[in-house]
Chains A and B, each alone.
Chain A
Amino acid sequence: MDFDISDMYVTSLETLSLQRQMMENLIIAKARQDALQRKMEERRLRLQEEANRRFAASGTITAEEQEQRVLYTNVLEYEQDHDWPKLWKANIKKNPDDPTLVSGLVSCLLSCPDHPVMMLLKRLQYRVYNRLYPIVSKSLPTSPALPMKPSHSAQSLLMSDSHQNVSKSEVGHSMSSDASLNISFSHDHIANEEDSDWPHTLDRENSFEDLEQFLTQLDWAPSHGDPDVTFEQSQLDQEEPLVQDLEMRDLKEHLKAIVKDIHIAIDQLLSLCLLSFECLNTASSKDLCVASIEEAFFTPLWSPLLALFRKVHRERELSFESSMRLYRDASPGDVGVPSKLYPQDPVMLHGSYPYDSAVQELRLLCRDCCPQRKLECIVRTLRLICACAEDYSCLHEAESKTAAIGADDLLPILSYVALHCELPQLVSECAALEEFIHEGYLIGEEGYCLTSMQSALQYVESLHTGGFQLHNTKFT
């Protein structure tokens, strides 16, 4: 028996020493953790100071500057933990004239979701989306295949609310072609977003939800102390009753505000990007930066953004559609294209219609998701028109040597092409492009093409009212 006691004694002694050791370990671990914490804090302070020094030139500190400092601190912190920025910078310094390096760096940056630039990108996207969602979701077709998840974010609650309130009439026919609304989601952006948490499988029905899901996964939890997000949230809650009786005027105001937000967001992203990688601060690299940032920024947002534009421009789209129906079988001559610029003999067209290739090209516009790409698509369309016109006029006779067409010919042809495109949302797409085209492009070929497209669309819209006489007699 006493054997047992001593044994127990030994056991309890062992337990005690074990416990003591564990305590010690815990204390050591705690001490280590504290030290690490302190070190981290020190580092953060140090980096903060560095960031402050970087911005020292400017006297008083505005809220934006303060935000910039915080962001820059994050960048510095990130660079202490990751080597790739240093490596790229060194590499570019060594080969400053290699443009492939610049695009390499930019795509590398875009593939790092934890880099402060990308974190900011997502936060800003979320902010825009958050503002778009309550307005746009109102016009979504009510579909039983779209289950509302009781989810963590304010706007999904909002959505399920407003969703039930959508009257059938409100689901306008312009929105009923919802394929066009969502088609942009299924595109190539997924390929270069491989590493981020973008949903990989998207279909028409749940693309909004997927986007929402994705966006709620973002790093925006209140624990991060992001004042923007909490602000946005409370604002959203109050907005709900308002949303239901938004008149067109309000819609337009909303649109204006969102457009402005987007411009600010892109400026912010660019400046943080250039702050992080000063080597990108050359004219050509900056262009590439802007293009890449915009593509990343707009790709998931274009669809809801376009939906808002379509709501605002609904009347115009309806007019376009009426003209479209009225002129379904119109020949180029009916919209004023001079006869030498299209073949009268159907045999020449090989079973298709004149300017078919330009029509096909223009139809692709709705599939791209970023303004720059869409703009390029319009430029390609106009170039194809010019090329076709040249071919057709060569068919007619060799005598007319002045094959080059001017605006007098271009606009009627473009109107014909727009009619045959049969996509009323072109009106809204172009209105959106107008907002997001860069000043630098405005007076160039892109600007000219967009302006011509806008004119042609407006002309088409006016056709159905008969306000314009069909055959204008004065053609050269």
Chain B
Amino acid sequence: FTMAAGGGAGNKTYSFKVVLLGEGCVGKTSLVLRYCENKFNDKHITTLQASFLTKKLNITGKRVNLAIWDTAGQERFHALGPIYYRDSNGAILVYDITDEDSFQKVKNWVKELRKMLGNEICLCIVGNKVDLEKERHVSVEEAEGYAESVGAKHYHTSAKLNKGIEELFLDLCKRMMETAQAEERAKGNGASQSTTSRRGVQIVDDDPQAATAAGGCCSSA
């Protein structure tokens, strides 16, 4: 409704939506729980537990509110995917390095995301469970090569050992900020059409940000 897009270049809060995709057993829940409960406290865990999580960050002086949407990995819920990832700024596609099948699933999702959301969405392909390196079934070269070919970045993580997770999210945030800034520049200054469209990043001036705070995830107080 009343969100000021554009405006002064100074203090802004970025609100990003990130969808989490991956088969049931690849460990995406552990991954995101690690990320959100890890550091200072577990306050970020909402009452929806690991399904929906929020995190506030400060990156190079800019405030970022992340809303992380978990999606169901089961095949029978896939038809319903698009309503989850519409308007997403980023997607984290998780596979299990010991499970070739889960990597194939990631490929399917990438195709669909690109088809639905174009190139504006920042894709991260994540090989989880690197603590099980010995049982690896997806080669590093194959995974990284594939990621590059589809304009995604590849990461290796271990939710168990808490490895690579912080870097993954930080990197994703930076990329989403760059995309948002590029989008802003393309739009030119003071373009106000974005207020009416539901699509895309919400870039909000500091004060109005408090308005959306009541909406749950992104309080800036």
Contacts and interface: CB of A to CB of B under 8 A. Distances in A.
A404 B23 contact: no
Contacts of B15: 443
B49 A408 contact: no
B215 A444 contact: yes
A469 interface: yes
B51 A444 contact: no
Determine the interface band of chain A, counting residues with CB < 8 A from chain B: 35 or more
Contact of A382 (B29, B33, B48, B208): B48
A444 B1 contact: no
B80 A383 contact: no
12 contacts: A284-B213, A383-B48, A407-B69, A407-B71, A408-B24, A411-B74, A441-B216, A443-B217, A448-B52, A448-B67, A451-B84, A458-B80
A406 to B, nearest CB: 4
Contacts of B12: none
A451 B83 contact: yes
The A contact surface, by secondary structure, is helix
A70 interface: no
Interface string A331-369: 000001000000000000000000000000000000000
A84 interface: no
Given A455-B80, A458-B79, A440 B29 contact: no
A60 to B, nearest CB: 18
B15 to A, nearest CB: 6
B170 interface: no
- Give the interface SS of chain B, mostly helix, strand, loop or mixed: mixed
Contacts of A402: 29-30, 33
Interface of B: 1-3, 15, 17, 20, 23-25, 28-30, 32-33, 45-52, 54, 67, 69-77, 79-80, 83-84, 87, 198, 202, 207-218
A209 B72 CA distance: 46
A191 interface: no
A438 B71 CA distance: 22
Contacts of A389: 49
A299 interface: no
A445 interface: yes
Contact of A443 (B47, B67, B71): B67
Contact of A386 (B25, B49, B67, B216): B49
Contacts of B1: 267, 270, 290, 438-440
B129 to A, nearest CB: 13
B74 A283 contact: no
Contact of B52 (A390, A445, A468): A445
Contacts of B29: 402, 404-406, 408
A448 B51 contact: yes
A441 B215 contact: yes
